[in-house]
Structure 1
Amino acid sequence: MLPDPQRFLAVAGRRIARAEGAAQVVRELCRSVVPELADGAFVYLEDGRPDRSEPLRLRLDAAPAELGGAMGGMPPDTASVTPDGVLARMLRCGRTRGAGPAGPDTDEALRELLGKAPRLPRGNRVLLAPLRAPDAVVGVAVFLRRPDREDFVDDDIALADALSAQAALGVREATAIPQVRPATALKAPDEDRLRYVGAATRRIARGFDTDEIVLGLCRAAVPTYSDAALVYLRDPLPVGDERPTGPAVLRLRRTDRMKGPGAEGLVWPAETVDDEQDDLDASDWSEVVPGGALAEVLRGVRPVFADNSPTRAALSELVGEDSALNGWAGTHAILAPLRGRRRVTGAVVFLRRPERPAFEPADLLVAAQLATHTALGVDKAVLYSREAFIADRLQRAMLPHSLPRPTGVRLAVRYLPAAETARVGGDWYDAIPLPGSRVALVVGDVMGHSMTSAAVMGQLRTTALTLAGLDLPPQEVLHHLDEQAQRLGTDRMATCLYVVYDPVSHRITVANAGHPPPILLHPGGKTEVLAVPPGAPIGVGGIDFEAVELEAPAGATLLLYTDGLVESRLRDVWTGIEQLREKLAATAQLTGPDRPPPLEALCDEVLDMLGPGDRDDDIALLAARFDGIAPSDVAYWTLDPDNAAPGRARRLTRQALAAWDLDDLTDTAELLVSEIVTNAVRHASRPIGLRLLRTDVLRCEVGDDVPQLPRLRRASPDEEHGRGLYLVNRLARRWGTTRLGTGKNVWFELGGPAS
């Protein structure tokens, strides 16, 4: 079995998909499987059947010479498939099968295909892979392994099956548009012309963006329909109902001409080719002058020959007055406007070399079909790109622009959109500071890929921020999120993981709503998928969520992620989670057991496990390195709400800072602690909590049982009170207030030990 089958399949599939022509598809298939998947491969393709009722005949298309020596002879050049034979039955089935004891039918099918002469490896070291397109069998591939190599396993057979299916589509596509030389292009009856138009427009329609659509037009037109093609589009392209302002400018987006293999003996006029660019000599842009010849042709919508003065002038205005392509006038040049739903978006020029047969009047209809489908495709691509851009901006605007820097924990985050441009998802992440130097870590995923998913994500994230500010337990936060999702609609569902980390107690509290479980990387390099109750997704309703409390040792790293990181069309979620755990363990070994890997580099290493085929969904990744706060850096006292409390608070603060060697902060800390405790004494009815934390800063927290939050205001000269928070605001590095379930917490920070 291959070490990384997903990556192998993605890379090999991409090579096959880029191939042009049946022969290149077959070559790329063989190059992809040898030597990673197999040690040898050869392919038979269908040998043309004008009458589909005749028996299928196969011809050998690709077989390296060294294969003959290993097999005791080359495979036969042709083979006839008996309609009721085993080989025919396997080809109709379309599934890859192994040979040997587990596949007696495969052995019989190989004998029908190859005869008795070839010597094949024993055991399950031979695969017979039908090349079956959706509408027909186009061939068969045979993959072999050496006798000293292990047998093919089920995963290998699945890979061979997937690659063979993709190769079959490529071969079928290549044979759909006949690769004829331009000398006789489209000289067949109307039926052949219609068949060509159908295949060409399907090829254009497969384009996902503007560049792919234009490429599809050029590849469909050259060399079957014309010897060269030039495509001009408006710059910028109008979107939807937008009315362009200013003069229309057409920019050259792509040119294509017949060259390379298959063009032997075809001579291009030297002055028509730019030697540096190896491309046609034409102007890069053209401004459409109102009332000019080009404007009149574009307004007419229909393709025209450059066989009269106005159309020749239009061609010259488009490609440039100095271009040698102007010599290709008459019926050797067609100028076709690209008109979308509402307006002209460009123009395409089809050219045949002067020594070739000219276009016929019926070819104008073909040009009209190609131009219409291209223009409509460009319209859709522009609208699609604009929608994707808006949705992506909307989603990113709803995500945090930066992460906080809470005490006792370091954070790193990654967000990757899906590989397909318009697949906007609903993944989100957050890190929310909580009272008591705690922090809430949140990762969620709204189900679906649309603008609606992004909008729902923003609403749920805002709700989670509000609930976290109330300092609710994690399970209660998920419960209220569930209620909010139901209020948004019956089909609004999401998964969410909510973790609260306390750096003082070195513990985390985790609640889960149908989300993939977090993974903990221990200081020694051990990795662990945390056993947390899975819960039901948010929006289901009527489900109680459960929270668990776990140890979070100093130096450990917690990884929260969405399912896009571990799940794709090529692997299930639990396989991906196990691969992620192994990736974390391997990364930790690089730095050794005494030193955890850097957090940012760890995130990058995790994302490296993604193959090209693993980006079906957007990905949110949140990593937290738990530094914690040592008990020696924490001081806590309980004060009675009486007049002696401020004096005692000053004295305790002075003693703690002296023990921590922070004498330079003593005066400021005493003053601010005294002001906040004095304010608490005036309103509290229960004991007051005072806590000092020493990290990179000195943090002071005062808690009481009064839920009303104090407000910063400027006291008038004759008032005796109201100046405490003003002093805190002027002297503290940072400060804030937080409402608790049983009161409030007022905190401030002063410069750290370095000061």
Structure 2
Amino acid sequence: MTEHPTSHERPQPGASPADPRGALLRTPEALPMPATEPLQLPPSAALPAQARTGDAPSEPGTTACAMSSQGASSGPGTSATSDTSAPGGPEHSQPAATEPDPHRPRPAPESIPAQPGAEQSSGASDGQERRLGQGLPPGSPMPMRRDGDRLRFVGAATRRIARGIDLDEIVMGLCRATVPTFSDAILVYLREPLPVGDERPVGPLVLRLRRTDRIPAERDTENGFMPAVQQEPADLSAVTAELCEVRPGGALAEVLRGVRPVFADAPAARAALPELIGEDSPFTVPTGQRAILAPLRGRRRVIGAALFLRRPERMAFEQDDLLVAAQLATHSALGIDKAVLYGREAYIADELQRTMLPETLPRPTGVRLAHRYLPAAETARVGGDWYDAIPLPGSRVALVVGDVMGHSMTSAAIMGQLRTTAQTLAGLDLPPQEVLHHLDEQAQRLGTDRMATCLYAVYDPVSHRITIANAGHPPPVLLHLGGRAEVLRVPPGAPIGVGGVDFEAVELDAPAGATLLLYTDGLVESRLRDVWTGIEQLREKLAATAQLTGPDHPPPLEALCDEVLDMLGPGDRDDDIALLAARFDGIAPSDVAYWFLEPEEMAPGRARRLARHALSRWGLEDLTDSVELLISEVVTNAVRYASRPVTLRLLRTDVLRCEVTDDVPQLPRLRQARATDEGGRGLYLVNKLARRWGATRLSTGKVVWFELNRA
């Protein structure tokens, strides 16, 4: 049985009715006829009857026509069939020279039941014309005249609908599967907003026109398409109401409550359609059982409606087509329910992952940062990979990359806890190996199977050194300014969560202009390559990228990250990927001033003199008054309680930074001094005059710092 294609592509020969795209009935040179008269195919356009086995083959260009009341005589080279001469009834034409397929289902001999309202006398001839392809408008799809045709169509259509994951894909699948095989046009209305899961909707029931689809007005006449009989709007949404508020107790509410599809000619549907498409809409629904209104009911409640339409020149829907519409509506509604649930879960996963990772990285002094994060797949948006950059006292910065095993919400939750723990430990200014030791203890407290890999590095822009500790993570790669890329030799260590393992840290040079790349194993390991092969490919990629900019200019950091990700092939996305790149600029020794001050009463005065000379050497005399005042207040607080020498350091970068370090762990707190208090106003002045200020506890005491904008 041939059917109309569901897309507007050219028909493919030999298409099966089970294919939702269908096949196309080609009617060569159909005679033009007025739209008001019933369309009939001329004898030359009728399909030849299928020859029986053993009959003589048909001559090319000849056809056989079924005779009704007169005797049939076959001419030379043709074969004639009738209801009484051939068992099994007439069938569509097939070349007589082709061997009949024994597996091809044969049509039932009885005719299609007559439409309601049709004359009884024309029932037999109407079924005969349908089986022979007569009485159909040129270019129209053949009717589904057997139960097998409908079953195959429903199977193919539901498979197409089930392929969709999100809401738009499912609605589009419904439209493309039904137009034009089952209907000439379709309007899909969905509840606004759609309820999620077991949520009980509040407010009135409002339907929004989600999508429309229809056969185009013009068709390709060379390949069996014929011009439309009447002009119709290109977009049905332009002539129908976009929003429809279902009145409680109204006709539309009763139809939706009934769940079962109904013909538009039914009294209930006839009263409900104006409410659905709009009272003032110029769009008219075809009569004569050429429209079906099908409610879309999900697991709990009605979530929309679908309106299937056929043109007046096409054969009307039959009673069995209501069952087809019910199956399409049921599968679509359940698919939409699942798509809404999936969308909610995907949104939650995206939000969870977004909050677990830093939105922006800090801009520490002497280092530039860039980052990338890619989930393993669109359907697995959460994972355990994380990265971070944490400013430390002394203009240092901690670089962290980790990977919790697994790709689930649990992995993401554990990752969030470990990242928070790492930030807390970094604030204590612990050595990298101590940070990993405490992370290992935290992972064991979370559970026996909570394992992760992590790499923790601390970069000092003043000394141009970096200290790295590793817990089972892939080693970092350092790209030098000249274009040489090397894999740093860092003791691998055991993963976090194993317990009872000592971690080792190494201190390496971090020359200015070099780039350190930290990454997770998803970048270098996949089903197609092992981890060390991937690391070597990464090293070669970095070296090749550096050659493009020359030996004296490092590649741009953002472009370098993109180039690294371009090395991934189609089969290389088996795991999440976290990437953190750090470009070391450092701080020149000429921009650093460093002194030790004994904890005595003369220390604040000496600190002011040293700062004044340094500012004069740097050409920052405009900041002298502010710097002397603030240094005097901070140093006075330090020497009052310190038992060891106090450290004063000035750093000249894009801002002027002052740091005072002592051996007292208690952090100063900003407070509001009373009018009678003799002290307590030092930090108040710092807070008012400084651009930024802060205090951080160290393992050996604390550091108080402030920054001033350079003029």
The normalised TM-score by structure 1 is: 0.70
Pick the aligned partner of 2:429 from 463, 471, 495.
471
Give the secondary-structure state (helix, strand or coil) at the position aligned to 1:272.
Answer: coil
Give yes or no for the alignment of 1:588 onto 2:572: no
Structure 1 pair 350–616 and aligned structure 2 pair: CA distance change class (3 A) = farther
Which residue of 2 is the match for residue 251 of structure 1?
208
Which residue of 2 is the match for residue 220 of structure 1?
177
| Contact 1:234–1:346 (CA under 8 A) maintained in structure 2 | yes
Q: Which has the higher strand share?
A: 1
Shift of 1:333: 2.0
When the two chains are superposed, the root-mean-square deviation of aligned CA atoms in Å is 3.2
Pick the aligned partner of 2:419 from 436, 461, 475.
461
Pick the aligned partner of 1:362 from 300, 320, 345.
320
Partner Cα separation in structure 2 for residue 561 and residue 272 of structure 1: 58
Which residue of 2 is the match for residue 271 of structure 1?
231
Which residue of 2 is the match for residue 78 of structure 1?
none
Shift of 1:635: 2.4
Which residue of 1 is the match for residue 350 of structure 2?
392
Give the secondary-structure state (helix, strand or coil) at the position aligned to 2:316.
Answer: coil
Structure 1 pair 280–713 and aligned structure 2 pair: CA distance change class (3 A) = closer
Give the secondary-structure state (helix, strand or coil) at the position aligned to 2:508.
Answer: strand
Shift of 1:543: 3.1
| 1:745 partner letter | V
Unaligned runs of 5+ in 2: 1-8, 16-138
Pick the aligned partner of 1:494 from 449, 452, 465.
452
Structure 1 pair 20–617 and aligned structure 2 pair: CA distance change class (3 A) = farther
| Contact 1:471–1:740 (CA under 8 A) maintained in structure 2 | yes
Structure 1 pair 21–340 and aligned structure 2 pair: CA distance change class (3 A) = farther
Aligned ranges 1:341-740 → 2 under 5 Å? 341-417=299-375, 419-420=377-378, 423-567=381-525, 573-609=531-567, 617-740=575-698
Partner Cα separation in structure 2 for residue 747 and residue 316 of structure 1: 73
Partner Cα separation in structure 2 for residue 705 and residue 227 of structure 1: 84
The normalised TM-score by structure 2 is: 0.74
| Contact 2:444–2:499 (CA under 8 A) maintained in structure 1 | yes
| 2:232 partner letter | T
Which residue of 1 is the match for residue 94 of structure 2?
none
| Contact 1:182–1:227 (CA under 8 A) maintained in structure 2 | no
Higher mean C-alpha displacement, 256-265 vs 484-493: 256-265
Structure 1 pair 564–698 and aligned structure 2 pair: CA distance change class (3 A) = same
Give the secondary-structure state (helix, strand or coil) at the position aligned to 2:231.
Answer: helix
Structure 1 pair 542–333 and aligned structure 2 pair: CA distance change class (3 A) = farther
| 1:524 partner letter | G
Structure 1 pair 312–578 and aligned structure 2 pair: CA distance change class (3 A) = farther
Partner Cα separation in structure 2 for residue 451 and residue 534 of structure 1: 27
Give the secondary-structure state (helix, strand or coil) at the position aligned to 1:350.
Answer: strand
| 1:365 partner letter | L
Structure 1 pair 438–265 and aligned structure 2 pair: CA distance change class (3 A) = closer
Structure 1 pair 520–240 and aligned structure 2 pair: CA distance change class (3 A) = same
| Contact 2:220–2:226 (CA under 8 A) maintained in structure 1 | no
Partner Cα separation in structure 2 for residue 22 and residue 536 of structure 1: 60
Partner Cα separation in structure 2 for residue 623 and residue 399 of structure 1: 16
Shift of 1:616: 5.6
| 2:614 partner letter | A
Structure 1 pair 265–659 and aligned structure 2 pair: CA distance change class (3 A) = closer
Give yes or no for the alignment of 1:233 onto 2:193: no
Give the secondary-structure state (helix, strand or coil) at the position aligned to 1:230.
Answer: strand
Could you report, residue by residue, the CA deviation over 1:178-215 in whole angstroms, capped at 9, with x for unpaired residues? Answer: xxx9744532335x544443343233222110011112
Give the secondary-structure state (helix, strand or coil) at the position aligned to 1:213.
Answer: helix
Give the secondary-structure state (helix, strand or coil) at the position aligned to 1:698.
Answer: strand
Partner Cα separation in structure 2 for residue 631 and residue 261 of structure 1: 78
Give the secondary-structure state (helix, strand or coil) at the position aligned to 2:346.
Answer: helix
| 1:649 partner letter | A
| 2:159 partner letter | R
Structure 1 pair 23–644 and aligned structure 2 pair: CA distance change class (3 A) = farther
| 1:399 partner letter | L
Shift of 1:576: 4.6
Partner Cα separation in structure 2 for residue 322 and residue 465 of structure 1: 63
Which residue of 1 is the match for residue 157 of structure 2?
200
Partner Cα separation in structure 2 for residue 377 and residue 391 of structure 1: 21
| Contact 1:272–1:325 (CA under 8 A) maintained in structure 2 | no
Pick the aligned partner of 1:306 from 254, 258, 264.
264
Partner Cα separation in structure 2 for residue 357 and residue 329 of structure 1: 12
Give the secondary-structure state (helix, strand or coil) at the position aligned to 1:330.
Answer: coil
Structure 1 pair 680–214 and aligned structure 2 pair: CA distance change class (3 A) = same
| 1:264 partner letter | G
Could you report, residue by residue, the CA deviation over 1:113-165 in whole angstroms, capped at 9, with x for unpaired residues? Answer: xxxxxxxxxxxxxxxxxxxxxxxxxxxxxxxxxxxxxxxxxxxxxxxxxxxxx
Structure 1 pair 725–456 and aligned structure 2 pair: CA distance change class (3 A) = same
Partner Cα separation in structure 1 for residue 533 and residue 297 of structure 2: 49
| Contact 1:420–1:616 (CA under 8 A) maintained in structure 2 | no
| 1:212 partner letter | E
Partner Cα separation in structure 1 for residue 475 and residue 398 of structure 2: 16
Give the secondary-structure state (helix, strand or coil) at the position aligned to 2:369.
Answer: strand
Structure 1 pair 348–566 and aligned structure 2 pair: CA distance change class (3 A) = farther
| 2:699 partner letter | G
Structure 1 pair 258–512 and aligned structure 2 pair: CA distance change class (3 A) = farther
| Contact 1:504–1:630 (CA under 8 A) maintained in structure 2 | yes
Partner Cα separation in structure 2 for residue 712 and residue 21 of structure 1: 79
Structure 1 pair 377–408 and aligned structure 2 pair: CA distance change class (3 A) = same
Partner Cα separation in structure 1 for residue 520 and residue 186 of structure 2: 46
| Contact 2:485–2:543 (CA under 8 A) maintained in structure 1 | yes
